[in-house]
Structure 1
Amino acid sequence: MLPPELTEAAARLFGDRLDLAAAYAELLVTDGVVRGLIGPREAPRIWDRHLLNCAVVGELIPTDATVIDVGSGAGLPGLVLAIARPDLQVTLLEPLARRTAFLAEAVETLGLHDSVQVLRGRAEEVAAGPDPVRGDVVTARAVAPLDRLAAWCLPLAVLGGRLVALKGASAAEEVVEHASAVHRLGGAEPVLRRCGEGIVDPPTVVVEIVRDRMVGPTPRASAKKTRASRSRHRR
């Protein structure tokens, strides 16, 4: 149930799709807990720690963008963004079968199949495959340190696209430690963002990296190709 003190923030972020967000929250605290995707201790904090924390990242994503959510897990932040931003086309990329099964069921239950696809695979394999998927924005939450994350995620972004990584208290240290590795991988200087100022407390800490160069053998691709490949990868 949505805590009363969070109602205003939730309504601001989800608008007329707040009921859909509530239905997703219910899936997370029931089936998501039973299937081990969400810890039982997280259930009382599902709105502030997970849904609102993810939804505010939408302020960094342009209108009508294609989004690839790497290591999507229970759909955080990918499914949250798809609910809050119906203009987006979202691919939930997840290597584990039990998680992709949950995601596919959630997409069907929530009626999001027109804007969301579930794709089972690892980021590095999808990026290097014969029919690679690309997005305007690549998101990741609590997946890996910034250097490994950039290696996996930047090749999934179109040239000029961005990696948007949700991070915690160590974000500033990671930026300093891994900036040179990010540069070698084709990324511009990592930028620390704080999303949801005045909406959530504390704001969500994000590291944003623009893919500004091609490195290695990865072919140039466009967001248009991402949309065209959706039907071939839809599950």
Structure 2
Amino acid sequence: MSVPPSIRSGLDVSRETLEKLELLERELRRWQSIKNLVGPATLDQIWDRHIVDSLQLLDLAPEAKSWVDLGSGAGFPGLVIAIVGQERGLNVHLVESNSRKCAFLRQIARLTGSSATVHEARLETVIPGFVGKADVVSARALASLDQLLEWTEPMLKAGTIGLFPKGRDVGTELTEARKKWTFKTDILPSRTDSEARILRITSIESHS
């Protein structure tokens, strides 16, 4: 399945990068029948629901050189960011505890020649090694904002930017998180879902 014309016209990437994204789509469809990497209902919306939705995060941290993606799953957003960010020298670390998903991530990183390192481990064991060493930490559809802040607090305090896409319950999540945390956040619109928002967090302090 090729890139829908409406999406192709809006992608500001080179022909080589577009071909790598198309390879990601083909491989995801091939692996999906065996490994069930993404929700089956989203398979016919790979480009807008997964690829473009992931890609919009890159524009929110254009100077980033080191990126950590938590709970990478089938590679959204981390693998897409690694493929597109390759031309700007971006190094991406994909943290995922599921072995079959890690196998997929490694395969696509190898086929596309992307600067993506796969960490097959629980994120709690990996995060300490990136404190003060990553420009961005991201997580998509992984956990509540409160839980994400709990995990990433050491990184955010050290200057890492947090980019967390959220759905229609973003207001509730912000209210709950502010009971425990004081943080600076930009609430940004999503290009792919009018009800979704992207939280860009740049500072944090615990109330305790």
Is 1:120 aligned with 2:112?
Answer: no
- In the other structure, the counterpart of 2:95 is 93
Is 1:207 aligned with 2:199?
Answer: yes
Letter in 1 for 2:187: L
- In the other structure, the counterpart of 1:133 is 130
Is 1:174 aligned with 2:185?
Answer: no
Q: Is the 8 A contact 1:159 1:212 kept in 2?
A: no
Q: Which runs of 5+ in 1 are unaligned?
A: 217-235
SS across alignment from 1:19: helix
Is 1:69 aligned with 2:61?
Answer: no
Q: Distance in 2 between matches of 1:21 and 1:176?
A: 37
Q: Is the 8 A contact 1:171 1:192 kept in 2?
A: no
- Report the aligned-residue RMSD: 2.3
Letter in 1 for 2:37: L
- In the other structure, the counterpart of 1:55 is 55
Q: Which runs of 5+ in 2 are unaligned?
A: none
Q: Distance in 2 between matches of 1:19 and 1:203?
A: 30
Q: Distance in 1 between matches of 2:156 and 2:33?
A: 32
- In the other structure, the counterpart of 1:220 is none
Q: 1:101 to 1:144 in 2, by over 3 A?
A: same
Deviations along 1:92-119, whole A, 9 cap, x unmatched? 001111211111111112221xx11001
SS across alignment from 2:174: helix
SS across alignment from 1:152: helix
Superposition pairs for residues 147-186 of structure 1, below 5 Å?
Answer: 147-157=146-156, 159-183=158-182
- In the other structure, the counterpart of 2:9 is 8
- In the other structure, the counterpart of 1:20 is 20
Letter in 2 for 1:177: E
Superposition pairs for residues 211-226 of structure 1, below 5 Å?
Answer: 211-212=203-204
SS across alignment from 1:180: coil
Q: Is the 8 A contact 2:71 2:139 kept in 1?
A: yes
Q: 1:201 to 1:124 in 2, by over 3 A?
A: closer
Structure 1 residue 180: deviation in Å? Answer: 3.3
Q: 1:189 aligns with which of 184, 193, 199?
A: 184
Q: 2:111 aligns with which of 89, 109, 112?
A: 109
Aligned residues: 202
Q: Distance in 2 between matches of 1:22 and 1:204?
A: 25
Structure 1 residue 71: deviation in Å? Answer: 0.3
Q: Is the 8 A contact 1:33 1:40 kept in 2?
A: no
Q: Distance in 1 between matches of 2:121 and 2:155?
A: 13
Choose 18-27 or 200-209, whichever is displaced more: 200-209
- In the other structure, the counterpart of 1:222 is none
Q: Is the 8 A contact 2:139 2:165 kept in 1?
A: yes
Query: Which structure 1 residue ranges, 4+ long, deviate > 3 Å from structure 2?
Result: 200-204, 211-216
SS across alignment from 1:190: strand
Percent of residue pairs identical:
30
Q: Is the 8 A contact 1:70 1:138 kept in 2?
A: yes
